[in-house]
Amino acid sequence: MSATPVTDEELVTRVQAGDLESFNQLVARWERPIYALAYRTLGREEDARDVVQEAFLRGFRGLKGFKGEAKFSSWLYRITLNLCRDWIRKARRAPMIQIPENEDGLDMAEQMPSTAESVEELVNRQQMSAAVAKAMAELPEEQRTAILMKEFHGLTFQEIADTLDCPLSTVKTRLYQGLSVLRRRLDRDARQQADDASLRRASWESST
Amino acid sequence: MCDDREKLIAYLYDEASASERRLVDAHLVTCADCRGELRDLRSVRQDLLSWDVPEHGSVWKPFVTTQAVWWKQVPAWGLAAAATLMFGIGLAGGFAARALTTAPVIQAQAQPVASPNPLPQTVAATPEQVRALEARLASLERTSTSAMTPARGRATNVANVTGADHSDEELMRRFEQLLKDSEGRITKKTSQGILTMMRNINDQRTRDMATVSQQISDAQAAIYGNVSKVANRTAAEKEKEQ
């Protein structure tokens, strides 16, 4: 079937007219980004899956009242973020950092034989990924959300302001503060790791 | 300028206006602090790229649309139509037989009403008798319906396709025509064409359904009329015998 690209807004109109298949298409289009947002906000795959499912169910139920003042994606992001917020409050805990179980560098290398990355590079990247996840989890929610929307979902300042319902200048301030805190924490982690490594080396050398 | 972090952030994300951009460019030439700040921010952005999201399957169980169900279950549709056709024929036969055998009951029920002022023997059926017959038929129909529930359940989508002059060959022929139409349109291979096709088929289906429903009503009315006549005649004959 040749496919002339259909916009989200056209699909939304069709769903509103009773075409369920168009909603399936919207889900297929947006499930990955919505999952990524939920995962990076909550830090747990299981929670992220639950939130994604609930977000689309709520989206479907609310679509009749969606008048198109915002982009469909921004609207969906907002639903997802609200659900994440509820989720964190209900669980009375800060976002968790989950290190995937197969974090063994060798396993990773076997999974991706075609990649040009060396095992060492892979391990470094995994360590960095975990460090970033940890540092992001420690950020205040509004700074974390602004960074997620900008860095991973490519929203403009204005779109973020619309989604989070705050002034444009606030978005820029949150981004700046968030990035600055992240930089300090990542530097601290890197120094910590370097110190640990040199300590281990020193103790190994003194024992031989 | 060093205090205006909003401008630096806009510059960092390439969302600064042309004039803002020129201002920041000019400032960076002379300010080492801001150059360092910008370098650090870019390095954090680079680090953020390493944050992976685990692969995952879809969590969404897609809606099964009514169009898709109807489309995929073409043979079931035909079967259901045929099954309901048989049901309709059975129902008609059953009505006639049951009405004949239960006529004395109807007569007995109607008798007390008539007895205080006996009506002339020439009257075939009183309004009371007709109403009693109607009630009896309704209860018969309920009984038959509940006995046939599994078959009817499957046939719900096709409505009650009852016999009369609507044969299953006719249904199949119409169906094949629909399929032929759709195949013809599919070859156009444009999504617009396919959409139109689905809409046309759906409209055609709706029209067919309306026709079928109308014919069912007519058939049911005819069956009902015949059964009434038979019952009335039997009641009249009974009266004559008496």
Q: Do A129 and B48 touch (CB under 8 A)?
A: no
CA A199 from chain centre, in angstroms, equals 35
What is the rounded (10 degree) CA torsion for B131, B136, B141, B146? Answer: 140
Q: Do B53 and A36 touch (CB under 8 A)?
A: yes
What is the rounded (10 degree) CA torsion for B30, B36, B41, B47? Answer: 140
Quote the pLDDT of residue A198.
81
> What residues have CB less than 8 Å from A132, skipping those under 6 apart?
A182, A186, B47, B48, B50, B51
Is residue B228 within a helix (H) or strand (E), and if so which, with residue range?
Answer: helix B191-241
Selected from 2.60.40.3080, 1.10.150.120, 3.40.50.300, 1.10.1740.10, the CATH number assigned to the domain covering A1-96 reads 1.10.1740.10
Q: Which two tokens stand for residue B81?
A: 């139509």
pLDDT at residue B134 tops 60: yes
Q: How many residue pairs from chains A and B have C-beta atoms closer than 8 A?
A: 101
Check residues A196 and A131 and name the one with the higher pLDDT. A131
ipTM summary value? 0.79
Quote the pLDDT of residue B137.
61
Q: What mean pLDDT comes out for the span B53-74?
A: 70
> What residues have CB less than 8 Å from A29, skipping those under 6 apart?
A8
> What residues have CB less than 8 Å from B85, skipping those under 6 apart?
B161, B162, B163, B166, B167, B168
CA distance A84 to A76: 12
- Indicate the average pLDDT of chain B: 69
Task: Tell me if A146 sits within 8 A of A178, measured CB to CB.
Answer: yes
Q: Does A123 touch chain B (CB under 8 A)?
A: no
Task: Give the pLDDT band of residue B23 (cuts 50, 70, 90).
Answer: very high
**A125 closest CB neighbour out of B50, B65, B190:** B50
Quote the pLDDT of residue B150.
45
pLDDT at residue B83 tops 60: yes
Quote the pLDDT of residue B110.
42
Q: Does B140 touch chain A (CB under 8 A)?
A: no
Name the nearest CA neighbour of B174 among B215, B207, B217: B207
What chain B residue is nearest to A57 in terms of C-alpha separation?
A: B60
Q: Does B121 touch chain A (CB under 8 A)?
A: no
Task: Tell me if B162 sits within 8 A of B84, measured CB to CB.
Answer: yes
Q: Which amino acid is at B146?
A: S
Q: Is B87 exposed, middle or buried (0-12, 13-18, 19+ CB in 10 A)?
A: buried
CA distance A157 to chain B (A): 8
Quote the pLDDT of residue B107.
44
Quote the pLDDT of residue A59.
95
Quote the pLDDT of residue A193.
78
Q: Do B41 and A39 touch (CB under 8 A)?
A: no
Q: Does B67 touch chain A (CB under 8 A)?
A: yes
The beta-strand segments (E) located in A32-155 are: none
**What is the pTM for the complete model shown?**
0.55
**B47 closest CB neighbour out of A56, A157, A186:** A186
Task: Tell me if A137 sits within 8 A of A43, measured CB to CB.
Answer: yes
CB-CB neighbors (< 8 A) of B3 in chain A = none
Quote the pLDDT of residue B175.
66
CA distance A56 to A41: 17
Q: Does B29 touch chain A (CB under 8 A)?
A: no
pLDDT at residue A94 tops 50: yes
Q: What mean pLDDT comes out for the span A155-175?
A: 95
Check residues B104 and B192 and name the one with the higher pLDDT. B192
> What residues have CB less than 8 Å from B26, skipping those under 6 apart?
none
Sorted by where each begins, the domain ranges of chain A are: 1-96
**DSSP code at position A64:** G
CA B79 from chain centre, in angstroms, equals 17
Quote the pLDDT of residue B108.
43
CA distance A97 to B94: 71
Q: What is the pLDDT of residues A41-91, one digit of tens each?
A: 999 999 999 999 999 999 999 998 898 888 899 999 999 999 999 998 887
**A2 closest CB neighbour out of B5, B48, B190:** B190
- Other CB atoms within a 10 A radius of the CB of residue B227 amount to 22
Binding-face residues of A in 63-92 toward B, CB within 8 A: none
What is the percent of chain A with per-residue pLDDT over 70, rounded to a whole number? 85
Quote the pLDDT of residue B104.
47
Task: Tell me if B235 sits within 8 A of B110, measured CB to CB.
Answer: yes
Q: Does B14 touch chain A (CB under 8 A)?
A: no
Give the range among A133-147, B12-26, B107-121 with minimum mean pLDDT. Answer: B107-121
Q: What mean pLDDT comes out for the span B112-140?
A: 57
Quote the pLDDT of residue A104.
47
CB-CB neighbors (< 8 A) of B52 in chain A = 129
Q: What is the pLDDT of residues B153-171, one digit of tens each?
A: 444 444 444 444 456 677 6
Task: Give the pLDDT band of residue B78 (cuts 50, 70, 90).
Answer: low
What chain B residue is nearest to A24 in terms of C-alpha separation?
A: B62
Q: What mean pLDDT comes out for the span B105-121?
A: 43
CA distance A51 to A58: 10
Task: Give the pLDDT band of residue A10 (cuts 50, 70, 90).
Answer: very high
Check residues A7 and B183 and name the one with the higher pLDDT. A7
Most confident listed range (A133-142, B119-128, B228-237): A133-142
Task: Give the pLDDT band of residue B65 (cuts 50, 70, 90).
Answer: low
Quote the pLDDT of residue A205.
77
Q: Do A39 and B189 touch (CB under 8 A)?
A: no
Name the nearest CA neighbour of B2 among B28, B22, B20: B28
> What residues have CB less than 8 Å from A153, skipping those under 6 apart?
A33, A36, A37, A77
Q: What mean pLDDT comes out for the span A29-44?
A: 94
Q: Do A53 and B53 touch (CB under 8 A)?
A: no
Q: Which amino acid is at A156?
A: T
What is the rounded (10 degree) CA torsion for A132, A137, A140, A145? Answer: 70
Quote the pLDDT of residue A92.
63
Check residues B50 and B125 and name the one with the higher pLDDT. B50
Name the nearest CA neighbour of A130 among B51, B231, B88: B51
> What residues have CB less than 8 Å from A1, skipping those under 6 apart?
B189, B191, B194
Q: Which two tokens stand for residue B85?
A: 């056709």
Residue B99, CA distances (Å) to A183, B84, B147, B224 in order? 90, 22, 18, 10
pLDDT at residue A167 tops 50: yes
Task: Give the pLDDT band of residue A182 (cuts 50, 70, 90).
Answer: very high
CA distance A173 to chain B (A): 6
Quote the pLDDT of residue B118.
44
CA distance A174 to chain B (A): 10
Q: Does A156 touch chain B (CB under 8 A)?
A: yes
Q: Do A21 and B10 touch (CB under 8 A)?
A: no
Q: What DSSP assignment string belongs to B151-180?
A: HHHHHGGG-----TT--HHHHHHHHHHHHH
B85 three-state secondary structure: helix
What chain B residue is nearest to A158 in terms of C-alpha separation?
A: B15
- Indicate the average pLDDT of chain A: 85
Q: What is the pLDDT of residues A103-152, one digit of tens each?
A: 444 444 444 445 566 778 878 888 889 999 999 999 999 999 999 999 99
Q: Which two tokens stand for residue A181?
A: 């805190």
CA distance B28 to B40: 14
